[in-house]
Each structure stands twice: as C-alpha cells, then as structure tokens.
Amino acid sequence: MNIVTRCLLGAVLLIAGSCSTPEHTVTTETGKESSKRSSPRFLIPYVDQNKAGFLGDDLQPYINPKFSFDPQSPSWPYTFSENLAAVSINGKIGYINRVGEVSISPQFEEGHPFQEGLALVKKGGEYGYITPAGNFRVDPQFKNAKSFNRGLAAVQNSNGQWSYINKVGTKVIEGNYTEAHSFSDGVALVQTADHREWGYINTQGEWLISPQYSKAGSFSEGLAPVQLEYRQWGYINKEGDIVIPSQFLEAGMFSEGRAAVAMPESKQNLNEKNYGYINREGRFVVQPKFKQAFTFANGAARVVENGRYAYINNRGAMITDPIFSYGWDFENGRALVRLGNKYGYINKNGIFVVDPNQ
C-alpha cells in the first residue's frame, strides 16, 4: 500500500468526524478532493517520486509532494518555522504556508527558516532579511550573514569583516571581526585579526572573555569547548575558568547534559579518533567507540560506524543498527532517515513508522 493510498484510507475514517480546529482539503495525485482534515499540530517533510511534500501528525500526506529539493542544501530537510517553510520551486527558493500555498514567491538563491520574525535570504548573490509578508526589512547587501538570535545577526561586508546588526539593519556591534558566530547562551564567539585568536562577547559587544584561543566553539548550557595546551580541547565557563581540563582531540557543544568528544583510538595510533560522550564533570557516560558523533536532541544522538548512521539513547544503548546512509535529529518522537536515495521515518524504538520512499 503506497503512502497516497494510506492517506485516502485515513481520510475516509476522518470524514465522519468533526473538529473545531481549521480544516484542510487534501487533493490526490489525480486532482480530486479526497476529504477535509483538521489542521495538524506539526508538519514534517517526506519524499515521494523524488519530490518533497509534508505529512501531518497522523503521518498521512497533508501537502502533496511537488517541491524539488537538494539533499546537500542547508534548507533540507524542509521545516516550518513561524508558520512558513522555505521550499524550492522552479529552481528558486520561496516560502509556503501550512496548507501548501505559496506565501512568498520563489525568487531567492537561498532561504533560511524564520527566526524572531525575519528570515535570512540570498538574492542577487547577496544576503538580506525578509518579513513574513516577503518584504525586505534589511536589503541584500552582505557577502555572508547568519540568522537573528537575541535581536542580533552576524553579517559580513564586502571586505570580509564581520559585525552585528539589529532588526532594522543598523550596525550595533562594529568589531570588524575576521569571523563571527551567532549568539548562543547570550554570548557570541568571534575571531579578531590580531593573531587570529578567538574570544567571546556579550550582546553589548563587550569582551566577556578576551581573545586567546587558537580554536574554540560556542557556549551551550554554560560551557564552551576551547583548544588549550598541547592542542587538546577542554571546556571553560563564562568566567573563562577551565572546568574540564584539556584532554580531547576534538570537543563539541553540550546538549542535554552531554557533549561529543574524540579520543585517540589507542596510544599507538594517535591520529585515528573515536568519539564518545562526556557529562558536565568531564566523565565519559558513553565510551569513545564511534567514528563520528553528533549532539543529543530529544533524548537521542546520531553516531556513525563503518560509514553508516545509527542512533543511541542517552545511556549509549543502540536504538538502531548502523544501517542508514544519513540521519537527522529526532523531533516529535520521529527521525528522518535516508537509505540510499529513499527517505523514511523511525520512532524511538528504531521502527519505521513511515517506510522509506524514493
């Protein structure tokens, strides 16, 4: 039974019911109305015949697959944010609403999710910010840029220097940084031209921790990974104190009380890395045994073994075997996975709830 057929069967069951929430007419591939369904709480992307659409929370098609997608694009998987989703239409990025209607005409080379009422887009080779009505709040003018966080966005001018603007495009932190990250935990990681060292600023542009690190990561859950002695990584707090001494070959951001770190495979083989997870005290809660490891999200994390993706729970137990060509984070109890060129969804037990479909 294919996914469209399942949609029709689900619609028959729903047609007799009533709901106080808004309804939506589902149109089948033949163009005939099949039923009216209540508006879902969330929408998730799915793929059928190499086109992307959206499933409702009943895992039935809600917006039929008609959008192109690039698996390598930063906008994939498509996601709704502030009731709009960036999708590819005829080779350009536009935005649709929650019933699949085009709200902002396709005209951009890039389109990012709305954050704090504005979306970062690229048009004519330059970045700017649009409102949900599709109007430019900040005209395209930047060589590079990042989404807003805490009312501030990092932008790069034509000379390659980074600074921060507010939501009307006024430059409010003019640090002329060589690199700048989005604010995270109320702090932004920036790199200065002097010795190309990294430090941290607050939302007023004041130095919270002066530039002193050759490599560093953003703060999360009050801690940030930094490269310290012997090119090994440890973690600091917002006062700049070392709270987890340098000992790791790589170190990631904390999420749900855990951080992915890398250790040498053995004393005889220092170049090969294995990844595991530590807690906030720096103790391993999942021993380093994976070739790649990603941040925890909704109680699970993606890991890689033998070139294939798998999922573990927060105790390190395998939720799935390493069988996926790629996988994305869990959200609403489900994770999008790819097997070859087929996409499906699994639940927290590792069972397919939407079979892989091309």
3-state secondary structure the chain: CCHHHHHHHHHHHHHCCCCCCCEEEEECCCCCEEEEEECCCCCEEEEECCEEEEECCCCCEEEEEEEECCCCCCCCCCCEECCEEEEEECCEEEEECCCCCEEEEEEECEEEEEECCEEEEEECCEEEEECCCCCEEEEEEECEECCCECCEEEEECCCCCEEEECCCCCEEEEEEECEECCCECCEEEEECCCCCCEEEECCCCCEEEEEEECCECCCECCEEEEECHHHCEEEECCCCCEEEEEEECEEEEEECCEEEEEEEEECCEEEEEEEEEECCCCCEEEEEEECEECCCECCEEEEEECCEEEEEECCCCECCCCCECEECCCECCEEEEEECCEEEEEECCCCEEEEEEC
Q: Of 110, 105, 97, which is closest to residue 39 (Cα–Cα)?
A: 97
pTM: 0.87
State the pLDDT at residue 267: 77
State the pLDDT at residue 229: 87
State the pLDDT at residue 37: 61
CA torsion angle for 345, 81, 187, 166 (degrees, to 10)? 160
State the pLDDT at residue 356: 94
Q: Of 300, 352, 344, 297, which is closest to residue 310 (Cα–Cα)?
A: 300
| pLDDT < 70: residue spans in the chain | 1-37, 358
Half-sphere exposure of 325 (CA within 13 A, CB side): 9
State the pLDDT at residue 38: 74
State the pLDDT at residue 79: 96
Question: pLDDT of 40-58, one tens digit each?
Answer: 999 999 999 999 999 999 9
Q: Rounded to whole angstroms, how far apart are CA atoms 240 and 199?
A: 10
What per-residue string of b and e applies to 308-327 under the rule 16 or more CB within 10 Å gives b?
bbbbbeeebeebbebebeeb
In which residue are the tokens 């699994």 written? 346
Long-range contacts of 65-69 (CB under 8 A, 24+ apart): 69/45
Starting at the edge strand that comes first in sequence, how are the strands of the sheet with 326-327 ordered?
326-327, 334-339, 342-347, 352-357
State the pLDDT at residue 36: 57
CB-neighbour burial class of residue 105 (10 A; exposed 0-12, middle 13-18, buried 19+): exposed
State the pLDDT at residue 20: 37
State the pLDDT at residue 92: 96
